[in-house]
Amino acid sequence: MLIVAGVSVPEGTTTVFEPTLNTQVKSAERNSDGRVLRETLPDKWTLNCEWEFPDETASKDWFNHLKSLTRIDFSMTFSAPTGADVTSTFYISPITAKMITLGYYKNLKCTFVEV
Protein backbone atom coordinates (compact mmCIF):
# COMPACT_ATOMS: atom_id res chain seq x y z
CA MET A 1 0.00 0.00 0.00
CA LEU A 2 1.21 3.47 -0.87
CA ILE A 3 -0.76 6.69 -0.43
CA VAL A 4 1.05 9.90 -1.35
CA ALA A 5 -0.56 13.19 -0.26
CA GLY A 6 -3.97 11.50 -0.12
CA VAL A 7 -3.73 9.85 -3.55
CA SER A 8 -3.29 6.10 -4.09
CA VAL A 9 -1.14 4.68 -6.85
CA PRO A 10 -3.23 4.15 -10.04
CA GLU A 11 -4.86 0.74 -10.28
CA GLY A 12 -2.96 -1.79 -12.39
CA THR A 13 0.36 -0.10 -11.65
CA THR A 14 3.30 -2.21 -10.55
CA THR A 15 4.93 -0.56 -7.55
CA VAL A 16 8.35 -1.50 -6.24
CA PHE A 17 9.50 0.26 -3.12
CA GLU A 18 12.46 -0.17 -0.87
CA PRO A 19 12.06 1.33 2.59
CA THR A 20 15.18 2.11 4.61
CA LEU A 21 15.10 3.05 8.28
CA ASN A 22 17.93 5.51 8.91
CA THR A 23 19.44 6.14 12.32
CA GLN A 24 20.04 9.85 12.80
CA VAL A 25 23.16 10.69 14.79
CA LYS A 26 23.25 14.17 16.30
CA SER A 27 26.78 13.89 17.66
CA ALA A 28 29.45 11.32 18.38
CA GLU A 29 32.60 11.79 20.41
CA ARG A 30 34.98 9.80 22.56
CA ASN A 31 35.23 10.21 26.30
CA SER A 32 38.49 10.10 28.28
CA ASP A 33 38.28 6.27 28.43
CA GLY A 34 38.12 6.05 24.63
CA ARG A 35 34.45 4.97 24.51
CA VAL A 36 32.29 6.43 21.76
CA LEU A 37 29.32 8.38 23.07
CA ARG A 38 26.57 8.96 20.53
CA GLU A 39 23.56 11.18 20.81
CA THR A 40 20.87 9.95 18.44
CA LEU A 41 17.67 11.44 17.08
CA PRO A 42 14.54 9.47 16.16
CA ASP A 43 14.94 7.11 13.20
CA LYS A 44 13.68 8.39 9.84
CA TRP A 45 12.39 6.54 6.77
CA THR A 46 13.69 6.83 3.23
CA LEU A 47 11.55 5.19 0.57
CA ASN A 48 12.96 4.47 -2.90
CA CYS A 49 10.06 3.95 -5.31
CA GLU A 50 9.64 2.79 -8.88
CA TRP A 51 6.39 2.49 -10.79
CA GLU A 52 5.54 0.76 -14.06
CA PHE A 53 2.24 1.93 -15.51
CA PRO A 54 -0.33 0.00 -17.55
CA ASP A 55 -1.03 2.93 -19.88
CA GLU A 56 0.05 6.43 -20.85
CA THR A 57 -2.79 8.19 -18.99
CA ALA A 58 -1.90 6.57 -15.64
CA SER A 59 1.76 7.48 -16.16
CA LYS A 60 1.02 11.14 -16.91
CA ASP A 61 -1.48 11.47 -14.05
CA TRP A 62 0.95 10.02 -11.49
CA PHE A 63 3.86 12.10 -12.82
CA ASN A 64 1.78 15.29 -12.55
CA HIS A 65 0.75 14.35 -9.00
CA LEU A 66 4.37 13.79 -7.98
CA LYS A 67 5.46 16.97 -9.74
CA SER A 68 2.94 18.97 -7.70
CA LEU A 69 4.69 17.80 -4.52
CA THR A 70 8.23 18.97 -5.35
CA ARG A 71 8.06 22.19 -3.34
CA ILE A 72 6.13 21.04 -0.27
CA ASP A 73 6.21 18.55 2.58
CA PHE A 74 3.27 16.12 2.48
CA SER A 75 1.74 13.21 4.33
CA MET A 76 2.40 9.70 3.05
CA THR A 77 1.32 6.22 4.19
CA PHE A 78 3.12 3.01 3.25
CA SER A 79 3.39 -0.59 4.41
CA ALA A 80 6.60 -0.91 6.41
CA PRO A 81 8.66 -4.10 6.77
CA THR A 82 7.42 -4.25 10.37
CA GLY A 83 3.97 -5.18 9.02
CA ALA A 84 2.45 -1.90 10.16
CA ASP A 85 1.26 0.97 8.02
CA VAL A 86 3.44 4.04 8.61
CA THR A 87 2.09 7.57 8.12
CA SER A 88 4.48 10.48 8.32
CA THR A 89 5.58 13.71 6.63
CA PHE A 90 7.94 13.41 3.66
CA TYR A 91 9.52 15.42 0.87
CA ILE A 92 10.28 14.14 -2.62
CA SER A 93 13.62 13.85 -4.40
CA PRO A 94 13.99 14.51 -8.14
CA ILE A 95 11.75 12.37 -10.34
CA THR A 96 13.32 10.30 -13.10
CA ALA A 97 11.46 8.70 -15.98
CA LYS A 98 12.19 6.16 -18.70
CA MET A 99 10.58 6.93 -22.06
CA ILE A 100 9.22 3.95 -24.01
CA THR A 101 7.85 5.82 -27.03
CA LEU A 102 7.70 9.52 -27.75
CA GLY A 103 5.71 11.09 -24.92
CA TYR A 104 5.02 7.82 -23.06
CA TYR A 105 7.02 7.32 -19.91
CA LYS A 106 6.40 3.80 -18.71
CA ASN A 107 8.60 3.92 -15.59
CA LEU A 108 8.95 6.63 -12.97
CA LYS A 109 11.39 6.65 -10.04
CA CYS A 110 11.87 8.89 -7.03
CA THR A 111 12.83 8.82 -3.38
CA PHE A 112 10.69 10.03 -0.49
CA VAL A 113 12.56 11.24 2.60
CA GLU A 114 10.90 11.63 6.00
CA VAL A 115 11.28 15.05 7.58
How confident is the model over 34-54, as pLDDT tens digits? 888 888 788 899 999 999 988
What is the rounded CA–CA span in Å between residue 48 and residue 42? 20
* Interstrand relation of 74-79 and 85-92 (parallel, antiparallel or unpaired): antiparallel
Question: CB neighbours of 20 closer than 8 A, spacing ≥ 6?
Answer: 45, 46, 47, 48
What is the rounded CA–CA span in Å between residue 31 and residue 105? 54
Q: What's the mean pLDDT in 60-81?
A: 92
**Local confidence band at 98 (pLDDT 50, 70, 90 cut-offs):** confident
* pLDDT tops 80 at residue 101: no
Question: CB neighbours of 108 closer than 8 A, spacing ≥ 6?
Answer: 50, 51, 53, 59, 62, 63, 66, 95, 96, 97
Domain boundaries, the chain: 2-24+38-114
Q: What's the mean pLDDT in 58-77?
A: 91
pTM of the model: 0.82
